[in-house]
Structure 1
Amino acid sequence: MYDSILVPTDGSEGAEAAARHGLNLATAFDSQIHFLSVVDERSYSSALADLDPTVGEQREGFEQQATEAVECLEEMVTEPPVTCQTAVKHGVPHEEIRSYAADHDIDLISMGTQGRTGLDRLLLGSVTERVVRTSDVPVLTTRHEPDRSRYDRILIPTDGSEAATAAIAHGVAIADRFDSTVHALSVVDVGGVVGAYDAGPGIPELIDSLEEECEQAVTVVEEECENRDIDIVTEVVQGPPYRAIQEYVDREGIDFVSMGTHGRTGLERYLIGSVTERTVRTSDVPVLTVR
């Protein structure tokens, strides 16, 4: 599933954490891993670089930092069958990342959610969020380095939407490689339902209908896991989706989350962009987002 994995880096701890997770998956899937560092061309004036020695020196300094960042990650690749390729580009970071992914047939991007601070930052939260929102390939985001190289418990939040269904295939494939237990969770956003309507006799029936849809959504995950002989736990809960996901991760000791970037539209939506973004920003475990 993942023949080529891209890890953008700015030399920060967040990027190194993303590289560790990228290497975990590369080892499991026999992938080639790519390390890319992007010098933000907006941090210097390329038009003046040839005229003003100070600007030229600044550009060279940024490029040296970028080169050191990819070389540092390259040293992590110590065991076959994983091979690596490195590159330094100049441009707008999120655009260069997407362009590199397209040009090199990348199957997954692994990024940190926090990068450098100050004028020398190359990758930062907003860059990661833009890649998550716009990437045509799945994006794995992480805040922390893994304590180990395994993912024993993988959570797949689902609302039955097309994006959530796409995330199932990725979560199950990773579970298969790591011999993990899959946890399928669907959340009935009762607060959203009540807030959308005046309280009335139709509310209980509507909630029952939504719970039934959630049950159907986790059943899809259950069937996929049973077809591949993967252990599965299913649960349907009520509450705010983002909070329910976070609480489930903490309670069940989840190691990895696979979820869609867009969910249902309208009043019955459970997993929408804002929920995914909040999960990406705050999760202590890696989150794979799939469009």
Structure 2
Amino acid sequence: MRILVATDFSPRSQRAVRRAGILAGQTGGDVMLMHVVDGAGTRQVARDVREAQRMTVEQAAVVPELFRVDCRSLVVPGRMPDALLDAAATRRIDMVVVGSSHGQDVQGLGRTVRGLIRAAPCPVLVVNRSVGGPYVEITVPVDLSDASARALRSVASLGLADHAHVSVVHAFEVLGKPKLSGFGIQREQIDSYVESWRSSFTEETDAFLEAEGFAGRDWTRRVEEGRPEEVISSLAARTGSELLVMGTRARTGFRRALLGSVTEAVLAAGGADVLVVPPPRPGLSGRPGRPGRPLSAGVERPAPQGVTA
């Protein structure tokens, strides 16, 4: 695996460098430390490039996770995230790793990181947590779309599942549930109604995993009621998940990816690290995608006893 990690020599980029070193060590991959000097064409920029080159070499020499990893440095003048995106594309990078800029703007996700995620040619790992070792618990939220299938395939192809326990979670919301108590429906009947929905979505999730070739994986399946972003954060907290893996969708008519409200909310919240998997770039081979569907759309669901349609 070829990993490109952005560094500005700050504590957050130090976390990213350490995580990149761990991942490269696990997969037999290599790491490229990249620093972008703002601007171009002046003597000051040229001096800054030389100084940054010295600092990247020193950084590689003092990070323990890089000691047994093939590590190189790349320092270029330019603008972020464009310079990083160009390097990722031209050097056929498998993963870009960046430190979280949580708290730098009102939405909790820095413009540079957001722009990188939207246009990246490969998965982007946003490192939020301090680095204590390899990932042990990984959570993959799925909405049964092609974006979710790509997230699952990346977990397998990048070797993440070789060293960690993987939980696949599907969140569902029950249509009409808030109104049921007002109709005089008993609590036991409402609970039974919710469980019938859970059973239906469990069958769909199992069928989805089988269709994508993951039925034989020793991965935990979870189907939980609630808003997706709330289910994801709650499950990550309960299981101690260190990494969330989420896919983005293609923006119709544009080459950039559409993050989606759930992915955006998870990224902005911080907490666990987040690996964002973009759609294939134009011109690359790939299977036809399935668009995401609204929860419960197109599927006949059971009605609670005592309520008629």
Residues 109, 209 of structure 1: CA spacing in aligned structure 2 closer, same or farther, 3 A cutoff? same
Q: CA deviation at 1:18?
A: 1.0
Distance 1:139 1:242 in 2: 20
Residues 65, 279 of structure 1: CA spacing in aligned structure 2 closer, same or farther, 3 A cutoff? farther
- Helix, strand or coil for the counterpart of 1:227? coil
- Helix, strand or coil for the counterpart of 1:98? helix
Question: Gapped runs of 5+ residues in structure 2?
Answer: 177-182, 184-189, 253-257, 279-309
Specify the alignment match of 2:59 in structure 1. 73
Specify the alignment match of 1:170 in structure 2. 154
Q: CA deviation at 1:84?
A: 1.2
Match of 1:99 among 63, 86, 100: 86
Aligned residues: 252
Q: CA deviation at 1:136?
A: 1.6
Distance 1:260 1:4 in 2: 20
Distance 1:211 1:261 in 2: 27
- Helix, strand or coil for the counterpart of 1:38? strand
**Mapping 1:73-152, distance limit 5 Å:** 73-75=59-61, 76=63, 78-80=66-68, 82-114=69-101, 125-148=110-133, 150-152=134-136
CA contact (8 A) 2:198 2:223 kept: no
Specify the alignment match of 2:13 in structure 1. 15
CA RMSD of aligned residues (A): 3.5
Question: Gapped runs of 5+ residues in structure 1?
Answer: 50-55, 118-123, 195-200, 266-270
Match of 1:243 among 225, 230, 234: 230
Specify the alignment match of 1:53 in structure 2. none
Q: CA deviation at 1:284?
A: 1.8
Specify the alignment match of 1:282 in structure 2. 269
Q: CA deviation at 1:101?
A: 0.6
Specify the alignment match of 1:186 in structure 2. 170
Distance 1:126 1:282 in 2: 15
CA contact (8 A) 1:160 1:213 kept: no
Letter in 2 for 1:212: S
Residues 215, 11 of structure 1: CA spacing in aligned structure 2 closer, same or farther, 3 A cutoff? farther
Letter in 2 for 1:74: A
- Helix, strand or coil for the counterpart of 1:66? helix
Distance 1:161 1:226 in 2: 16
Residues 214, 38 of structure 1: CA spacing in aligned structure 2 closer, same or farther, 3 A cutoff? farther
The answer to whether the aligner puts 1:227 opposite 2:216 as a matched pair is yes
CA contact (8 A) 2:35 2:52 kept: yes
CA contact (8 A) 1:158 1:218 kept: no
Distance 1:5 1:159 in 2: 28
Residues 66, 11 of structure 1: CA spacing in aligned structure 2 closer, same or farther, 3 A cutoff? same
List per-residue Cα deviations over 1:152-182 (Å, max 9, x = no partner).
211010001111100001223434321x221
- Helix, strand or coil for the counterpart of 2:130? coil
Bigger share in helix: 1
Identity within the alignment, %: 24
Q: CA deviation at 1:237?
A: 1.7
Larger gyration radius, structure 1 or structure 2: 2
List per-residue Cα deviations over 1:45-74 (Å, max 9, x = no partner).
x57x4xxxxxx44x3564356335523432
List per-residue Cα deviations over 1:205-253 (Å, max 9, x = no partner).
9x9779735642355447855535x3x2211122221121111100111
List per-residue Cα deviations over 1:7-37 (Å, max 9, x = no partner).
0111111111111111111111111111110
CA contact (8 A) 2:32 2:73 kept: yes
- Helix, strand or coil for the counterpart of 2:87? helix
Distance 1:21 1:219 in 2: 34
Distance 2:2 2:160 in 1: 19
CA contact (8 A) 2:141 2:246 kept: yes
**Mapping 1:251-270, distance limit 5 Å:** 251-262=238-249
TM-score (normalizing by structure 2): 0.70
Higher mean C-alpha deviation, range 62-71 or range 19-28: 62-71
TM-score (normalizing by structure 1): 0.74
Residues 78, 184 of structure 1: CA spacing in aligned structure 2 closer, same or farther, 3 A cutoff? closer
